[in-house]
């Protein structure tokens, strides 16, 4: 803004910012189909955002999905998750969530692609930061901003029942993904401590009510862990739990986490698990592994940095 006096330009530069996030690291994998960003916030803390391109197939259109974070770290403490190992610092603001989308959109602009889907599957438990997450979705959807439909947004939650019920009443047709990961309360509580407060039956009841109220299918996310939750018998019990006209199971072979004794199952066991679900009439997919060479699983890139808090720019 050269028409302004130098003193005014200095004042504006020191006082205001166009974004609450800045790219600290950017890594590309899968022949350009996966891009992971380590973003620096204004207080020097870091979060992760991933953009994934999917080519058109016989079953779906081409799409570009952004996986956004909702918290710095995560308080849930799931046994298989790299983010949980780093602990929890704070919630993200609405602006910091919105700006992840805007940052990626600007970066994509040079490649003539645009974001088609948003998933809250990055760092943090989205429903633990309810107001900022819902506020960001409404900001994206506003006609005078991005006009981005909530139907293209998925919120992944460990199953905080009161907030699922609250979300269902918002009038937002967002998609819900439940991070289930076990077919019984005893196993799930050992993996996800908050299950003791919100057991599986309560979570599935709230998820089904959300599906009926919004007409949106619920996806049950299930990280497959070798010898822990990947048997055919466990698949049969899972099928009985989630069978509903608006349900889908997304199987996710675990991304290896350094220092963890847990491991992904063999391809044969994963396929047997899927076949058992499909034989029971459950819509099921196995998520394609992306970006292993760039630590694309949630929390891994941040964990490899020497400092979780960087000096603010």
d(CA 65, CA 78): 24
40 in Cβ contact with 13 (< 8 Å)? no
Q: Is 186 a catalytic residue?
A: no
What residues form DSSP beta bridges with 119?
A: 67, 154
CATH topology of domain 17-303: TIM Barrel (3.20.20)
123-180 tens-digit pLDDT: 999 999 999 999 999 999 999 989 999 999 999 999 999 999 999 999 999 999 999 9
Name the catalytic one among 74, 78, 81, 298.
Answer: 298
126 in Cβ contact with 155 (< 8 Å)? yes
Give a three-class secondary structure readout of 88-120. EEEECCHHHHHHHHHHHHHHHHCCCCCCCEEEE
Helix or strand holding residue 187 (H, E)? helix 185-191
pLDDT given at position 305: 58
pTM: 0.87
Sequence spans of domains, the chain: 17-303
Name the catalytic one among 48, 96, 125, 221.
Answer: 48
For 243-258, letters b (16+ CB in 10 Å) and e give ebebbbbbbbbbbebe
Q: Is 14 a catalytic residue?
A: no
pLDDT tens track, the chain, 313 positions: 789 999 999 999 888 888 999 999 999 998 889 999 999 999 999 999 999 999 888 778 899 999 999 999 998 888 777 776 778 899 999 999 999 999 999 999 866 689 999 999 999 999 999 999 999 999 999 999 899 999 999 999 999 999 999 999 999 999 999 999 999 999 999 999 999 999 999 999 999 999 999 999 999 999 999 999 999 999 999 999 999 999 999 999 988 777 778 889 999 999 999 999 999 999 999 987 665 554 545 555 555 555 545 544 4
């Amino acid at each position: 803004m050269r028409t302004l006096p130098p003193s005014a330009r200095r004042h504006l530069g020191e006082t205001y910012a166009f974004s609450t996030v800045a790219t600290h690291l950017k890594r590309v994998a899968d022949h350009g189909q996966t891009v992971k960003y380590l973003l620096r916030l204004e207080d020097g803390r870091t979060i992760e955002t991933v953009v994934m391109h999917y080519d058109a197939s016989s079953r779906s259109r081409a799409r570009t999905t952004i996986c956004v974070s909702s918290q710095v770290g995560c308080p849930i403490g799931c046994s298989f998750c790299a983010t949980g190992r780093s602990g929890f610092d704070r919630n993200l603001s609405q602006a910091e969530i919105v700006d992840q989308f805007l940052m990626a959109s600007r970066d994509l602009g040079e490649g003539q692609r645009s974001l088609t889907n948003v998933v809250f599957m990055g760092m943090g438990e989205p429903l633990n930061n309810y107001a900022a997450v819902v506020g960001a979705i409404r900001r994206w959807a506003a006609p005078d901003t991005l006009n981005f439909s909530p139907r293209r947004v998925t919120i992944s939650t460990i199953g905080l029942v009161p907030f699922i019920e609250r979300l269902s009443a918002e009038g937002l047709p967002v998609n819900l993904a439940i991070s289930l990961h076990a077919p019984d309360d005893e196993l799930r509580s050992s993996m996800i401590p908050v299950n003791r407060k919100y057991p599986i039956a309560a979570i599935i009841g709230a998820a089904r009510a959300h599906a009926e109220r919004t007409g949106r299918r619920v996806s049950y996310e299930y990280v497959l862990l070798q010898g822990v939750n990947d048997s055919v018998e466990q698949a049969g019990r899972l099928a009985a739990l989630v069978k509903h006209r608006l349900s889908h199971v997304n199987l996710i072979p675990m991304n290896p986490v350094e220092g963890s004794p847990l491991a992904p199952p063999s391809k044969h066991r994963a396929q047997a698990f899927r076949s058992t679900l499909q034989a029971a009439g459950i819509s099921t997919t196995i998520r394609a592994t992306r970006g292993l060479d760039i630590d694309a699983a949630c929390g891994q890139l941040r964990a490899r940095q020497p400092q979780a808090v960087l000096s603010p720019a």
